[in-house]
Amino acid sequence: MLTEQQLVDRMAGGDEAAFEVIYHDHQRGIFRFSLHMSGDHSIAEEITQEAFVALIERPTGFDGARGSLAAYLFGVARNLLRKRMRQDWAVESLPDGDFALAAEEDDPLDAFALDAVRAAVVSLPPVYREAVALCDLQEASYDEAAAILDCAVGTVRSRLFRGRKMLALKLKGAVRV
DSSP string, the chain: ---HHHHHHHHHTT-HHHHHHHHHHHHHHHHHHHHHHH--HHHHHHHHHHHHHHHHH-GGG--TTTS-HHHHHHHHHHHHHHHHHTT----S---TT--S---SS--HHHHHHHHHHHHHHHHS-HHHHHHIIIIIIS---HHHHHHHHTS-HHHHHHHHHHHHHHHHHHHHHH---
pLDDT tens for residues 67-105?
999 999 999 999 999 888 775 544 444 444 444 444 444
Distance of alpha carbon 149 from alpha carbon 134, whole angstroms: 10
pLDDT band at 18 (very low <50, low <70, confident <90, very high): very high
Which CATH number is 1-87's, of 1.10.1740.10, 3.40.50.2300, 2.30.42.10, 3.10.20.90?
A: 1.10.1740.10
pTM here is: 0.72
Domain pair 1-87 / 102-177, same fold? no
SS in 3 state form for 143-155?
Answer: HHHHHHHCCCHHH
pLDDT band at 4 (very low <50, low <70, confident <90, very high): very high
Torsion of CA 24, 47, 34, 87, to 10 degrees: 170
pLDDT tens for residues 22-47?
999 999 999 999 999 988 999 999 99
For domain 102-177, give the CATH number. Answer: 1.10.10.10
Query: What number of other Cβ atoms are within 10 A of residue 113's Cβ?
Result: 15
Can you give the residue ranges of every domain in the chain? 1-87, 102-177
Distance of alpha carbon 124 from alpha carbon 121, whole angstroms: 5
pLDDT tens for residues 102-161?
444 455 555 666 777 788 888 899 999 999 999 998 889 999 999 999 899 999 999 999
Q: Which residue has the higher pLDDT, 8 or 106?
A: 8
Angle, helix 41-57 to helix 16-38, in steps of 10 degrees: 140
